[in-house]
Structure formats: structure tokens, C-alpha cells
Amino acid sequence: MSDSNSGQIDNVMQEDRLFPPAASFSEKAVIKSMDDYQQLYDRVKADPEAYWEAEAKSELHWFEPFDSVLQKDGIDVRWFDGGKTNICYNCIDRNIDAGHGDQDAIIWEGEPGDTRTLTYNQLHHEVCKFANVLKGLGVGQGDVVSIYMPMTPEIAIAMLACVRIGAIHSVIFAGFSAEAIADRNNDASAKVQLTADGLWRRGKIIPLKQTVDAALEKSPTVEHCIVLKRVENDCDMTNGRDHWWHDLTSEASDDCPATPLDSEATSFILYTSGSTGKPKGIRHTTAGYNLWAKKTFQWVFDWRPDDIYWCTADCGWITGHSYIVYGPLAAGATMLMYEGAPNFPAEDRFWDLVEKYKVSILYTAPTAIRAFVKWGDQHIDKHDLSSLRLLGTVGEGINPDTWIWYHEKIGGGRCPIVDTWWQTETGGIMMSPLPGAIPTKPGSCTKPLPGVVPKIVDESLEPVGVNQGGMLCIAEPWPGMLRGIWGDEERFKEQYWSTVPGCYLTGDNARLDDDGYYWIMGRIDDVINVSGHRLSTIEVESAMVSHPNVAECAAVGRPHDIKGQAIAVFITLKDVEASDAIRDELKLHVRKEIGALAVPDDIRFCEAVPKTRSGKIMRRLLRDIAAGREAAGDTSTLEDFSVLAKLRGDED
């Protein structure tokens, strides 16, 4: 371990297990070997414009051809300028033109067990009708449509209808408060609100329309609200403003040609919380985003025509945008979409769905996997999961022990795991194993995708050495990159482009190991500095989770007179009660796994670690708690975060 104080982060995690793809998997894969990957990577790096020009021409439909592949003027980047295309056309019409109109696009199951299937033809019909509904209410190119809906096929239909006519959607996760909706509506000057009477969550009705009513009182720009009937509960309908989805669509024509849109036309904005201040509306555009979502889907999920693909995310997050709607549909995939909770009616709902629909590719989040571990293997053992061939994770780092469990218990030891690192801002996956080509290491997102040029620097902006952590940047533009923060050019510049000149700053720390594998070490703000050693939260947490009685762990720093910072960990236990004995045992365990330096000063037990709505640990909240109530660290009473988490529930 180095004593370096130049802002590098010490690497304390040793993970040597290597899982090469099975030959039978690689043979059929899109990218079949490490050599194939390396050649493609090098080719794109050497001449990105030639590569992306050919891909854009073959993978997207062009109403008018583009004049240039890439134009860069400082932080202003334009891909495929001068061309006209349409994301909805690429996702639906193009597949129908290719003869796939009768193929299933979306197989959907509601939480109560109701089901629906839409072929590409049927999806086309529904999307065209709804696009005409929007037009009928005066929605045109550049208008913002705010979407606050359950995970029914209509949320995808709504998103696709918007991009078909050049309207900009802003999807707001249907768990946010009225205040949060109003803030986003006002920031975006939303013109129309889409919602539903309610949604099902663990067998209960969540009345969405009520929340929207409160939000619309404070959203003066919203002229109309369209309400989908989902749960059949009563709702107040304001005359002139509110309309039923089924009333409007029953009268609408299904003839609605896709509008040719500029490559750089804004396709959507998606709000994400920053480390300070109000949420930012991340702005994505049309051609480059569409191409990136499609290519990354094909590469990473190695999609084949007989696959049933299931991404368990919500359309309220970028994962739902890129890997439920735009990537899979552009690639002509068949997907499963599920409305509800993973533990309704019981903790085996996901495995029931995998078995029932013969899901072959499953993409989910580490937070969900840790819940499955905690709920116990008996829920999994009941089901036949042999249809699965590929597993994925996204949203946060996966602790190696959780990775191994996922690999063995869900993947039966035969499915590669793609640990995909990316962000709302990047539009699509940036680093991930290519499952037929790159041997995986538990906890590492392995290698950058072709077109992604990562760079890791310390605080003096010098590149760090092998196995030294530092700030992760991206040195070259890629087609799916964000183009701005809605209405806040200054913040865009300041936040992403000013720290490391010429590079996009991801806000994450990472290190590169001896084999050229990347390891994400957590957010830059989350680094814990103990006696001058900068430690990554993920590494401390992974060491904790490798203890058999730890279900989940969040590590944060708190002020310490001598060490600068001390480590405080919040732990959810499994199979044992909280006690001083287990606390001592865990300290010993960390000493053994990492060393004395990483032994936490405080170990606090809790029912559940507080999470944001998208499943990320709320470290800011934990830092406050760790700093403010140090004395409580030695009691074994369980912490109850539910109240605090709710207070902060609008962070995403």
C-alpha cells in the first residue's frame, strides 16, 4: 500500500478468480474471443469516424443522409450532423419493414398476474394512435411531455409516441412525490402530463393520479393530463384538463408517419440528482443515442433471435430507457416487461417469471441480488432456471461474493455475468465484459466497449499507475454521450468538463489492474481518507459482505481527530442477531481481508440500509448520521432508517 498523497486511492482488494466464457457460448457469440474484441477496439480507436459512419448507415434508417460523422467544438459535440432519422421508426417500422411485424416485441405481466403481448405490428398500431392523440392536444416538435406512469406497455408506447413526433419526454419515476414532479415539470416547462389512475405495488394500489393532481397545482405550464386506467380506482378528473387515455385513443387514427428529425434533435431529458442542489435534466439527442443504445445492446447482451430478454429496471431510470425501450427494440428483440415487486405474492416472483417465459437474458441490479441472497435459496430452488444463458448487473458495484452467488445460484455456474458500468449521462453501457470474449473477474466491469476511451488521473491530473485508483474520465466523444443539462449550460460545463481539460469527468473513481481490467471504486465524493490512505467504499463493503452473516453493508467516512477520517459501516445481518460478539468478529474479518487500516471504528446494525429510489445506498444521509451520533456506534440497537429515508425520498 502506498503512502502517496497525490490523490490516488489505495487498492486493497485482491480478487484473483477468473471466469472465461465457455467455448459453447463463445462459438455463437457476436464477439467470440479476446482477439476479436481487441481488434475491434483498436480499429474503432484508430478511426472512430470511419467505424461510426458505416455503423450509422447500416443500423439506422435515414430520411436524409448526414453530412459529417463527428463535429467537435470544445464541449459542443455533434454526431451525424445534417442527417434526419427517427428513433421510433428505427425501433418499430424498420423491424416491420424487415419482415418481423408478427414477432413479439413486448411480453408483459402485471403484478396481479394479468398478461399482454404486443407484436411489432401491434406496437406500431398503438404508438401511432397515441402519437396522434398527442398531436391532437397540440403537442409538436420540441414540446416536453412529462410521464409519470406504471410499468405497463403504455409507458413504452408513450415514450415511443413522443419520439415519433419529435416531442421530448421526461419520464419521472412513479414513486416520486408531487413536489418532485412539479419541480421537474417546471424546470422542463412540460406541456402535457401522462399518468394513470394508479399502480399495483405489493398487492396495494398506489394512487398516482392523486399525486399528479397535487403536482399540477404547482405546474403552470402543463395544459393537459392524460390518464390511463390501470387499477380502476376513483379519481378526480378536471374538466378540460384531464382526459382518459382510452377515450382519446379510441377515436385516434393509427396513421402517423414518423417525423424526420435532425440527428441532434433532443430526444428526451431525464432528471438525475447531483451531489448538490436541484436535479439536473440530462439531455440526450437522436441519432447518436439511438445507435449507441442499439450497438451496446447487441454487443453486451449478445442478443440472438430466439432470446427472451428481461431487464428488471423501471422506465423511470436510464436503464429502462436504453435497455427496456430503445436498445432492445432497435435491435428487434423480444422482451419481458414486469410491472411489480420482486416479492409479490412471494419472494420467488422473479424466478417464477423466468421459468414461465423461459427468459434467457436477465439484467438486474446488485441491490436486488443482495435481497435475493437474504431471502434465501429455497425461493430459487423451486424453479427451473435452465433457460437462462446470460446474466447482467447495473447501477452500482457488485461485491465479489454476491457475484459468485449470482453466478452459481441463478446462473447455474454456466451463465457469463456482464457487470455493466455506465451512467444516465453516458446514454448506454461504457464498460462491460463482452460475454463471449472477455473472461470475467467478480467485481470488475472489465474492459471499455469499442469507442470508449477511459483515462484515470489523480488530483494533479497526472495519469495514475497500474492498481492506483483515481478519477475516471472519458477522453474521446462517443455517440451516446449527453449533450447538455436542460436549461443549464454553465452547470454542464462546470460539472463534467472543467476538472480535467478535454475530458468528460464521470464523477467515479476507478483503477486499472495488471491485466488491463477496470474496477469502479465508488463516487469521488465517497472516498474515505484514513490517516492519509484513501480507501474506496466498494472495497470496504465487499470485504464485509464476504462474511457469511452480512447481507448488506454501506461504508462511509466520519471525522476523526487523529486519523482524519474513521470508517463507519452500516450492516444488515442475516441468520444472526446483532451483538457485541458479531461486531468483534466482523472487525477481525476486515482485518484479515484487508488489513488493520480498514477496520471500522463504528459498526452499526440496521434492518435495511437506506436506499434511493433507484436502489443506490444513500451515503450522504449515512455520512450525516455517522458524523452526528458517534456515541451511538457502540450500542447494538438496530437503526431504523425508514423515516429518514422517506424524508429524503425525493433523491434518486
Say whether residue 565 binds ligand WTA (CB under 6 A). no
Do 75 and 481 form a contact (C-beta atoms < 8 A)?
no
* Residue whose C-alpha is closest to residue 518's, from 479, 563, 470: 470
Binding characters for ligand WTA, 448-487, by CB under 6 A (x = yes): ----------------------------------------
CB of residue 319 vs ligand WTA: minimum separation in angstroms?
A: 5
Cα gap 520→378, rounded to integer Å = 32
> 3-state class of 558 per DSSP?
strand
CB of residue 546 vs ligand WTA: minimum separation in angstroms?
A: 17
**Helical packing angle, 153-165 and 120-136, nearest 10°:** 60
CB of residue 111 vs ligand WTA: minimum separation in angstroms?
A: 23
CA 141: distance to chain centroid? Answer: 27
Using the 8-state DSSP alphabet, how is residue 396 labeled?
A: S
Let me know if 201 is exposed, middle or buried by CB neighbors in 10 A (0-12, 13-18, 19+): middle
CA 590: distance to chain centroid? Answer: 30
Q: Binder to ligand WTA among 124, 523, 534, 583 (CB under 6 A)?
A: 523
CB of residue 327 vs ligand WTA: minimum separation in angstroms?
A: 12
Say whether residue 318 binds ligand WTA (CB under 6 A). yes
Which lies closer to ligand WTA via its Cβ, residue 40 or residue 394? 394
| β-pairing verdict for 192-196 and 144-147 | parallel
* Residue whose C-alpha is closest to residue 485's, from 424, 572, 563: 424
Which lies closer to ligand WTA via its Cβ, residue 62 or residue 422? 422
Do 206 and 199 form a contact (C-beta atoms < 8 A)?
yes
Q: What is the 3-state secondary structure (H, E, C) of 312-355?
A: CCCCCCHHHHHHHHHHHHHCCCCEEEECCCCCCCCCCHHHHHHH
Q: Binder to ligand WTA among 144, 160, 520, 573 (CB under 6 A)?
A: 520
CB of residue 276 vs ligand WTA: minimum separation in angstroms?
A: 16
Q: Give the number of residues written for the chain.
A: 652
Cα gap 560→345, rounded to integer Å = 46
> How many other C-beta atoms are found inside a 10 Å radius of the C-beta of residue 346?
12
Cα gap 38→45, rounded to integer Å = 10
Binding characters for ligand WTA, 388-427, by CB under 6 A (x = yes): ------xxxx---------------------xxxxxx---
CB of residue 364 vs ligand WTA: minimum separation in angstroms?
A: 12
CB of residue 616 vs ligand WTA: minimum separation in angstroms?
A: 7
Phi, psi of 20 (to 5 degrees): -75, 150
Which lies closer to ligand WTA via its Cβ, residue 424 or residue 468? 424
Range 253-292, binding ligand WTA (CB under 6 A): 272
CB of residue 322 vs ligand WTA: minimum separation in angstroms?
A: 8
Say whether residue 526 binds ligand WTA (CB under 6 A). no
CB of residue 116 vs ligand WTA: minimum separation in angstroms?
A: 27
Range 593-652, binding ligand WTA (CB under 6 A): 614
Which lies closer to ligand WTA via its Cβ, residue 79 or residue 422? 422
Q: Binder to ligand WTA among 90, 119, 219, 319 (CB under 6 A)?
A: 319
Which lies closer to ligand WTA via its Cβ, residue 85 or residue 424? 424
Cα gap 43→27, rounded to integer Å = 22
Range 195-214, binding ligand WTA (CB under 6 A): none
Say whether residue 152 binds ligand WTA (CB under 6 A). no
Which lies closer to ligand WTA via its Cβ, residue 119 or residue 444? 444
Q: Provide the total of helices (H) and of strands (E) in the chain, helices listed first.
A: 22, 30
* Residue whose C-alpha is closest to residue 292's, from 472, 423, 438: 423
CB of residue 509 vs ligand WTA: minimum separation in angstroms?
A: 9
CB of residue 317 vs ligand WTA: minimum separation in angstroms?
A: 6
* Residue whose C-alpha is closest to residue 353's, from 564, 115, 518: 115
Which lies closer to ligand WTA via its Cβ, residue 556 or residue 566? 556
Q: Binder to ligand WTA among 508, 552, 593, 601 (CB under 6 A)?
A: 508
Which lies closer to ligand WTA via its Cβ, residue 119 or residue 542? 542
Which lies closer to ligand WTA via its Cβ, residue 69 or residue 472? 472
Cα gap 191→185, rounded to integer Å = 8
**Given the rule CB under 6 A, which residues bind ligand WTA?**
272, 317-319, 394-397, 419-424, 445, 506-508, 520, 523, 614
